[in-house]
Structure 1
């Protein structure tokens, strides 16, 4: 199969687990936002922001290190998987032990003194997710995309079912039969804690499904590989941690930086967290591409036409991302129904967040230069610079612009990362990216969005008719310019 078509096929399969699966999970957002007040949902947004930081720290960049070392020859290839797995098990067991031992002081520091159990449950969730990262990476490396998708979808289905049980089924049964054992066991005071508990049980189920990927490891073969593997992988922690700062910092610090009272700050955090979910289609596409793209970039690197392939990948990636941007923004009146009316005051940040995540995807493509030249430390400096920018802009803008300042900080940070990575790539691993064509699509998409705002908001035209016409125009132009059968056959 043509390697680009193979990449597209695997991206679609990974997208099945990410986009379809997360979309099903996304359908829980109405359940949360119609069930809990904004300040309660703010707790959920905050904890999942913390989870993003620890997800990077607890995997040590070993996914990328595993991909790199398994493509080498000899002992390093054979020992990469057991070495990475052994490090993850040891580190995550220690992490859970520390959180359990200090759960009450940590809960008080986070202003949740009555819910120390949240921290224990979240530590277990984080450890289980980190331990599953290597088995999932192995499935990706072995191109077992359908097995990968099956496990992911099963986990998500379990989480959805448990959420429905904890938030709808169990309360209903407790109200219908107040004297039953089920009613006695149900604790309404736990509130959003039931969301965390559902996640924990689903994570346990996921690990059980991944047990076959944990068998057959020659642990002795991994011992000589640990040091070089960590030397390559640990800079990826810096890169990943900086990336999480760019993605999650706003939701982690909003309640501390906003100039209002604690309850109002949590309410605003809940509004922002819910509206952030409306940009999830872009996020999921970038994630699906990352799953398929990373092993593709490494496996294709030795071919003569590798750079040409990377350039084509970025062009088609941007075309599809602009389509997602237009799909959400032109039909925002439909997407907003996924969140409760209390949360819709923040809808104006959705286009900003969509464009920010588009540039994050561009950076994922451009980062091939430091991964293939083993300059992960330089890549870490790029991410650190973006993280510093994110921190500075959030501190500067949140007190005056609120969560809108955070959205603009996202865009500035991801745009800066893409620009710097492109400039460094020109020096260390030059790829002939079609910048003119890529820039034209970006400007065309923004122009169509501007036309929609003019005719719908200022002139009062029918939003469905205008949006459909503009999206149809974009599809027609892109089909004629880059998706003609003759052009695709040439790939």
Structure 2
């Protein structure tokens, strides 16, 4: 029992440390979309495009080595050798990237259509972030969850605080103080955003530097080959997932006319953030429940409980979907401050449904995790990436960001269906498909009707929400009674 208690405690701490960085991007949206902070919607579009490249290069620079570290740290008798090999490999690859990126920074700027001064800042941030991958993995491997969480939270706090300081207070103080005015630069907002990130990343590396002072610098070539080939499918899956998650912004910038591309990306990215409620719910649920999947994999008939877990997720997720859609226009002034972005509110229901499908996919993925068929996770992610790329190329020239929203929904729904199909083939779980389909289809239909037909008609919207809630309560009343009685 004490072991289980410790497991849930660490899961909560790691979950908090994982969710908070996601919350940072959400908390910054009201700041970036406030009138007068950034000069235009297009400026926010530029920031969104750069962060999309960030996601992709973070995956490339990690190249699955964090996952390989965990696997071999627990497998090998000589753990110091694993630490040394993976640490040296990441340091070498990170500085090799850093040198090459600085050497070809002008070509990278031309290829990505990003200002070269932003590219320099991004290169430094990517280097600093890559250098803490193995130190953070080492903390987790040694159950140093509190240290892990404190450093992660500090990174978020410093980044957020500096953004607020640079974009709001520095500008205000510079007006009345000649000394401060000497440090303030006009039309420097995007630089300030990435300088904030750079300082937070540098401070994180300083706090984690003890790892490099204590690490035994032993590199085993044979071990590295094993770790690399173990990590390679993780790299492919990570790249595919990053394409599904962020590449639509890059394609919008590439495929739309230059005079509107960044503005459309800014609108799309800002309104996309309203769907983060679903993302955070799905992430927190997955982090809390994933240890249960593995700890009960060898118990008698775990499939029954796996099925029940997913049913609860679909029920709660469907309620959250409909609630956010009904009140989306109430929420938008608090999240996306400027009306200049609101044109893209059209995407909100589709992105919410897409993220609910993604959450279902992650819950369904238990089958390939407990049966060691993780290669199917890579296959399904690549399948989703091809759908994302294909539909974006097809639809963006016709429908702009609406095409990207549709592509996201189709990709995640397809991944969900594919995972269910192969899961039932290799590890059958008795899901109540009719019940889950009812919740998903009905909440999606009510969301579409409420938003696209009766938008801001709260009599209709709240009525649909109440009907759905009563339906869920009626169907789940026995389960609810059981949960209330369970101590």
TM over 0.5: yes
- Does residue 315 (structure 1) correspond to residue 314 (structure 2)? The answer is no
The 1-side partners of 2:467 and 2:435 are apart by 19
The partner residue of 2:113 within 111, 114, 119 is 111
Q: Is the 8 A contact 2:454 2:461 kept in 1?
A: no
**Change in CA separation of 1:470 and 1:94 when aligned onto 2, cut-off 3 Å:** farther
Q: Deviation at 1:236?
A: 1.0
When normalised by structure 2's length, the TM-score is 0.87
How many angstroms apart in 2 are the aligned matches of 1:108 and 1:351?
A: 35
- What pairs up with 1:63-82 in 2 under 5 angstroms? 63-72=66-75, 74-75=77-78, 79-82=81-84
C-alpha distance in 1 between matches for 2:430 and 2:485 = 19
Aligned to 2:223: 225
Please say which of residues 103-112 and 40-49 is displaced more in the overlay: 103-112
Query: Which of 339, 343, 346 in structure 2 is aligned with 1:345?
Result: 343
| Count of aligned residue pairs for this structure pair | 482
**Inter-partner Cα distance in structure 2 for 1:310 and 1:79:** 38
Q: Does the Cα contact within 8 Å between 2:105 and 2:116 map onto a contact in 1?
A: yes
Cα distance change, pair 228–488 in 1 and its aligned pair in 2 (3 A): farther
Residue of structure 1 aligned with 2:387, choices 377, 386, 389: 389
Q: Give, in angstroms, the shift of residue 231 of structure 1.
A: 1.6
- Unpaired runs of at least 5, structure 1: none
For the 8 Å contact 1:355–1:411, the answer to whether it is kept is yes
Q: Deviations over 1:245-276 (max 9, x none)?
A: 11111101102212x3x231111111001111
| Cα distance change of structure 1 residues 257 and 5 upon mapping to structure 2, 3 Å threshold | farther
Of 38, 52, 55, 1:52 maps to 55
Q: 1:73 to 1:311 in 2, by over 3 A?
A: farther
444-453 or 199-208, which moves further after superposition?
Answer: 444-453
**Deviation for aligned residue 1:183:** 1.5
The gaps in structure 2 that reach 5 residues or longer are none
How far does residue 122 in structure 1 lie from its aligned partner after superposition?
Answer: 1.0
Match for 1:101 among 85, 100, 103? 103
Whether the 8 Å contact between 1:39 and 1:263 is mirrored in structure 2 is: no
Distance 1:303 1:273, change over 3 A: same
With over 3 angstroms needed to count, the CA separation of the structure-2 counterparts of 1:222 and 1:389, relative to structure 1, is same
1: distance between equivalents of 2:300 and 2:220? 32
**Alpha-carbon contact 2:266-2:341 (below 8 Å) kept:** yes
Greater CA deviation, 117-126 or 270-279? 117-126
The equivalent of 1:403 in structure 2 is: 401
1:95 Cα offset (Å): 1.1
Q: Which residue of 1 aligns with 2:85?
A: 83
Relative to 1, partners in 2 of residues 1:7 and 1:473: Cα closer, same or farther, differing over 3 Å? farther
Q: Secondary structure at the match of 2:75?
A: coil
Q: Which moved more, 1:278-287 or 1:128-137?
A: 128-137
Q: Kindly indicate whether the alpha-carbon contact (under 8 Å) linking 1:155 and 1:202 is maintained by their aligned counterparts in 2.
A: yes
The 1:350–1:144 alpha-carbon spacing in structure 2 relative to 1, beyond 3 Å, is: farther
- Displacement of 1:414 after TM fit? 1.1
Q: Which residue of structure 1 lines up, in the alignment, with residue 33 of structure 2?
A: 33
Equivalent residue, structure 2, for 1:61: 64
The answer to whether 1:164 aligns with 2:164 is yes
Between the aligned partners of 1:4 and 1:85, the Cα distance in structure 2 is 31
- Could you give the per-residue CA deviations for residues 413-432 of structure 1, whole angstroms, max 9, x where no partner exists? 11111221222223333334
**Distance across 2 between alignment mates of 1:406 and 1:95:** 31
Q: Provide the secondary structure at the position in 1 that maps to 2:250.
A: helix
Are 1:263 and 2:259 counterparts?
Answer: yes
Please, which moves more after superposition, 308-317 or 357-366?
Answer: 308-317
CA distance in 1, matches of 2:473, 2:2: 25
